[in-house]
Every structure is written in C-alpha cells, then in structure tokens.
Structure 1
C-alpha cells in the first residue's frame, strides 16, 4: 500500500472512513500488512466469504491485534478496500507540459494512458468487481471510488482541457460532454471489457486506444496549431 497523502486522508474522511491512530512505526507496518492481506482475501471471497483467520495468517498479525485496529470485520473491509481504491490512483501523473497542439495532444494521450493502465490492471479490475458486488451493502465504497476518480482523473483532465481551450488550441462547448466523451473512449470502454469480458481484453492495445481517443477528440474540438 502507498503511504497516506493529504489528499488520500481527505478523501477517506470525506466519505466517513475514520483515521486509525498508530503509536509506533511497528504498528504502522502491522496495519499495512493487515490491509494487504485483507485486500487479497476480500478480492477472492468478498465480504461475507472473507475470513479474518485467513487475513491473520496472511499478514502474520494476530486476530487480537487486528481487532485492536478494527473493532469489526465490516470496518476492516471498508478500511482495506477503501485504502486500496485510493492507492490505485496515487501517483497518477498530472497532465504534462504543453505549448502547442502537438504537445497538448501528447500530454492528454500520456495522461489517459497512465490512467487506463492503472485502472485496468488485473489487481484493480478485481478490486472493481469486489466494490460492484458489495456496493449495495457498503455504499460508502462506491462514493469513495467516484470521489477518488474525480479527484485524480476527471478534475485534472478537465482543468487541462479548459486551459488548452483558453490558449486557443481547442474549441470546447459549455458543459462536460467533451470530457465525458474523451474519458469514455480512452478509459470507460476498455474498462467495461476488462471487467465483464476479461478474455477479450488485451492491455497491449491501450496505447492505440488512447491515441485513437485523442485523435477523435481533436478532430471534433481541435484548432489549427499556432
């Protein structure tokens, strides 16, 4: 798991995931081991089928210690899966520098490709299936995923596209339809295939998908290079 950033902490608190006070570095290491083992267990078996005994074995941390961090299995599930959701996005590169239509296109393409690769990794797809399966029981997880996606993905891309429009490189109508179209082509469509038809998904195609999405987007909204 990644270290907790200010943004990650804000997302957790905003969605009602309480902070866990830790007395020492050893306590932190144990907590990270428990989270990793819990994510692996819950991804395989879901909330109801997941075993705290197996999490204890997988983490090397005793059940009494686990319950000193999390007083219930429900809280353990929410914390571990919620932390993994945020970690899937942590480190997503900002939209890169640009000064022309060519470099702007490349910056957007690189951002979308990094985003797609993170979300469509086998581990994150398995996590997505877990959240979908448990969304009715744990709506806070669905809220956390949506907020995390907006914070690390939608908003930075929207800000970059707005700046490119102000610079005269794009001619965007009001509203977020162009943003939605671009994300759907580059991330949303392959994510559906990876989630529900994994045998038809090939991660090696993601660079071509990102390039094609940007080409279609620029053919509709791009202006001549200056």
Structure 2
C-alpha cells in the first residue's frame, strides 16, 4: 500500500518528467539544464537528482515511459485473431493504428529520439524494440493465426506485418517527420489512408 510520502514522491517524479519532456521538445536535449527542469517542475534541484541520477537517466525514463503506451494497442491486435469479418475488422484496426501513432506528442518524441539517437544509441534501440518492433511482432503473430484459420495466405508473417504497418503509416509518418508544426492531417484523411492500406493489404494477402 502506498503511503503519503510515496504519493508525494510519485507526483514529484511525474512533474519532473512532464517538465523535462516539455523542455526537451522545446529546447532540445543539449539546450536543457537540470536547473530549468527543476524550476519548471516547481521542485528543488536536489529533488530532481533524488529522482534521477542525471539528465541522461531522466531522458531514458521519458522514452521508456513513452514505449509503455504500445501495450493497449497490442491488445487490440490480439483481439483481431477471433474476427468473423476480416475486411471490416482489419480496417477498424488500421484506423486505430493510425490514430494511435499519428499524434502530436508521440511524433514530437519520435523526432527528439531520432535527433538524439547518436548520443543515446541504447535508449533508441530499446525504444525500437519495445514500441515499433513489439507492434510488428504482435501483428505477425496475429496474421499467422489468421492464416492458420484460412483467412490469409502468407509465407512470411513478419514481412506481412511490416507491409501492413507501412501501408498504413508511411504517408502520414513521412510527412510528420519533416513538418515540425505538427499540422496533423484531418481525421477523415487519416481514416481514408487507413482504409486504403487495409484494402491493399487484403488484396495481396487475403484468401479468396
């Protein structure tokens, strides 16, 4: 059971991570100091160092926290295994996928991580395994199951998963990586891209 002190510590940790995230996104990692993070979080510098040994550790914690958000989507992917209407449910999954990934804050963090990958290769690699690759693995396992049910025809589930992912995400992701204004495309356009991506995937892989 969490006591009052534990609760205060958790709130301070959250405030520090939120403040650091905003500053890293606004000023970049090199341009942000622990003093600024403490001031923005309204805590002492000593409190920041009590929670995080250094700025590098804090950055890693922020990226690791972002990867946790993949979990709910993986559950949605797993639910597709029991579909009774693959055309409908795959399109719904595609829409959920694009809406989950193409979000301003997530895209900002992705750009930040890519910019700092040379400084933090292990953090970047860990995020890649925990987020994009975990999603691909879940899709591959699902598609393999659907093939066993006779709904898909495929020899390489992992390659099929990568095809699906990039049919859905390539256009908006490529655009987002080069436009820092985060002018996310309208929902109707994202849904059209998702629907068409799912349709093309099924044209290639569905057993008819």
**What is the rounded CA distance, in whole Å, between the counterparts of 1:198 and 1:34 in structure 2?**
24
Task: Render the CA deviation track for 1:8-56: whole Å, top value 9, x for unaligned.
Answer: xxxxxxxxxxxxxxx6121111111111111111111121101222221
Unaligned stretches of 5+ in structure 1? 1-22
1:221 to 201, 205, 208: 205
Contact 2:167/2:197 (CA < 8 Å) preserved in 1?
yes
Which 4+ stretches in 1 moved above 6 angstroms?
none
Residue pairs, 1:43-192, within 5 angstroms? 43-83=25-65, 85-92=66-73, 93-95=75-77, 96-97=79-80, 98-100=82-84, 103-150=85-132, 152-174=134-156, 176-192=158-174
**What is the rounded CA distance, in whole Å, between the counterparts of 1:59 and 1:198 in structure 2?**
25
**What is the rounded CA distance, in whole Å, between the counterparts of 1:114 and 1:166 in structure 2?**
24
Alignment of 1:194 with 2:158, yes or no, is: no
Specify whether residues 28 and 139 from structure 1 end up closer, same or farther in structure 2 by C-alpha distance, changes over 3 A only.
Answer: same
Unaligned stretches of 5+ in structure 2? none
1:27 aligns to what? 9
Compare 183-192 and 149-158 and name the one that shifted more.
149-158
TM-score by length of 2: 0.85
Specify whether residues 152 and 215 from structure 1 end up closer, same or farther in structure 2 by C-alpha distance, changes over 3 A only.
Answer: same
Equivalent residues, number: 199
